[in-house]
Structure 1
C-alpha cells in the first residue's frame, strides 16, 4: 500500500515543524508527503525549503481558497493508494501512521478518524487546560465504538487526522469546494449516505497544538455555526432529516442567564486573568468558560467581542 500524507497549511510556519519532526519518527515511513500552502504570508514556503526535517517532501503553493480546496489539491497531487490528512498543528505519536494503515488493511473502503487531543503539558493558561479537558470529553464517547462503524447519531470525522483510500475519496467527490468550514462534517454525511463506514481509532493518536484564547475560540464557534447554516441552505436535499447542530435558542430564565454571560467583562476575565481563577473549584471555572463561550459563540453571535 502506497501512502500519501497531505498537510494543508495557512500561515503555519510557527507550528508545522513539530508535525514534520514527528512524521520523520514514525514506525512506518510513508512514500510521499505533500504540503499545500494555502496563500500563506508568513514565509512558510521559505521556512520549509530551508529546513532539514529528516525526509523529503513536496511543496505546492496556491492562492488562499480555504480548507476544502487546499485538501482537494493535496489529494489531486497525491500518487498514493491511501491518503492520510493531518492539519499543521498536529503532533503524531510514533505509530500513528501504522495504525491508519492497519485499519485499512482490515477495513478497506472505509474512513478512519484518529484522535485529536489537546496536550495538558502545552497548556499555559487555565482556559487552555479547559480546552484539553474538552477534547477528552468529546473523544471519550467515540471509544465505545472501538472496532465498529460510527452510527449516524455519533458520526465523527475530523480532517485534522483522518485517512481514506484515494479511489474512495474521488468517488465521494472529495471535499465540497464551496465550504470554508464544516467540510469534514459534510464529507462524513455524504459518506454515510453512500454506505461508507466511518471508524474512530484512538490509537491513531495525534496531539493538537491549538493555542487559543477564549476570544479566538468563540470566533471559531461562530464560523462553525455559520457553516452549518450554509450547508442547510445549499444542500437541503442531502441534509433532510439530518441533524445540522442548529442550536435550540434558550427561553425564559435560561435566555437571561446566557445573555448575562455574553458580557465583555467575563470574556476579558477569562482571556487576561484565567490563571487567577484557579482558587475556584474546577467545576465552577469550567462552567464559567462553558457559559461565556456558548453565549457568545452559539446564542448571541451578533454581539461584538
Structure 2
C-alpha cells in the first residue's frame, strides 16, 4: 500500500516597494536565488514615482514576479495588499533594501513543527549591514534579546520583540485571524502584529540561524520622523490594550511600558533642543501627552511623577547650549540621569 508524500507548504514572498529602485534588484535577486524557491513572489508598488515604477517593469522582464499597484499607504498596507493577492499557506516578507541569504526559505520551512496545528510564526536571526550590504553584526536578534521563542506577554511589553518580518515565516491562518498589519503604524507595526498573533493563542518557534541581511542606512524608516510618531501611537495602543489589574498585582504602565518607552519620548525632545530641530514643538507635545498619561495613573508613585515634572521643566526651559553641554558631559546622545528618572 502506497502512502502519499506530504506536499511542501506553499510560500509567498511579499516585497513592499516605494521609490526603491536603487535597492530592489538586490532584494528580488536574493529571492530568486533561494535553495527552495518561493511559490509566488509579489512586489507591491506603494505609490512610487513613475520612473521608479518603470524600474519594476524592467526588472520583471528578468525575474518572474507579480506587480501590484496601490496608492501610497505605508509599509503595513502594502504588505496587507500583497498577502490579500495570494493564497499561499505561509507568508515571507522582505523589505526592498534588505536581502535573503540563499537558504532563507529552506531553513524556515524546515522549522515548521509537524505536530503544531496552532503555529503562528517561525522566525530566525538577521545580520545587520550598512546600506551597501556590508556586514556589521552577524546575529543582531540575539544581541538584543535572549527571550526566544516568545512565551511571555510581559517580556513582549517590556522590550522590543525583535521578530523581524524579513526573517520570519507567518502562517496565513494566524495573519488573517488578527487582520494583518495595523496600518496606522509606520514603525512598530511588526511588534504589534506578532504581539496580537501571540495573544490570539498561536505559537511560535525560533531558529538559531541567520537567514536575512538587514541593511540600515540614513534613508531607512528607523531614522524618520514617522517612526517617532508611530512609537507614540503604539505606546498609546498598548496602554489601552493593557489596563492595570490591581487584584493580580499587574501594573502594566508603571512596570512595563514606562521603562520601555519613556526614555525615548524624553530623548526625542532633548535631541531636538540640542539640534534646534524644527520638529521640536511636535516632540514636546508627545512628551506632554505621555506625561499626562503617567500623571493620571494611580499606580505611579508621587515621587516618580514629581521627578518627571521637574525633568520636563528643565528640558523645556533650558537653552540649547545648556542641553548640549549636559549631553557632552554624559558622552551620550541623550542625558543619562534623565533617562533613569523615566525608567
Fold similarity call, TM over 0.5: yes
Equivalent of 2:57 in 41, 44, 49: 49
Determine the structure 1 residue equivalent to 2:108: 100
Query: SS at the partner of 1:247?
Result: helix
Q: Structure 2 matches for 1:217-236, cutoff 5 A?
A: 219-220=223-224, 223-234=226-237, 236=239
Determine the structure 2 residue equivalent to 1:113: 123
> Cα distance 1:236–1:52, how it changes in 2: closer, same or farther (>3 A)?
closer
Determine the structure 1 residue equivalent to 2:33: 25
- Counterpart CA distance in 2 for 1:104 and 1:175 is 22
> Cα distance 1:218–1:17, how it changes in 2: closer, same or farther (>3 A)?
closer
Query: SS at the partner of 2:216?
Result: coil
How many residue pairs are counted as aligned between the two chains?
A: 258
> Cα distance 1:141–1:210, how it changes in 2: closer, same or farther (>3 A)?
closer
Equivalent of 1:164 in 151, 156, 170: 170
- Counterpart CA distance in 1 for 2:107 and 2:98 is 16
- Counterpart CA distance in 2 for 1:22 and 1:33 is 12
- Counterpart CA distance in 2 for 1:21 and 1:60 is 18
Query: SS at the partner of 1:115?
Result: strand
Shift of 1:233: 3.2
TM score, norm. by length of structure 2? 0.63
Task: Judge conservation of contact 1:150–1:156 (CA < 8 Å) in 2.
Answer: no
Determine the structure 2 residue equivalent to 1:91: 99
- Give the aligned CA root-mean-square deviation in angstroms: 3.7
Shift of 1:139: 3.1
Task: Judge conservation of contact 2:130–2:217 (CA < 8 Å) in 1.
Answer: no
Higher relative contact order (CA 8 A, sep 6+): 1
Equivalent of 1:203 in 193, 209, 227: 209
> Cα distance 1:144–1:231, how it changes in 2: closer, same or farther (>3 A)?
closer
Bigger Rg, which one:
2
Equivalent of 1:80 in 82, 85, 88: 88
Pick which of 37-46 and 238-247 moved more.
238-247
Shift of 1:123: 7.2
Shift of 1:80: 0.7
Task: Judge conservation of contact 1:21–1:54 (CA < 8 Å) in 2.
Answer: no
Equivalent of 1:185 in 188, 191, 195: 191
What residue ranges of structure 1 are gaps of 5+ in the alignment? 266-286, 300-305
Shift of 1:78: 1.1
Equivalent of 2:181 in 150, 171, 175: 175
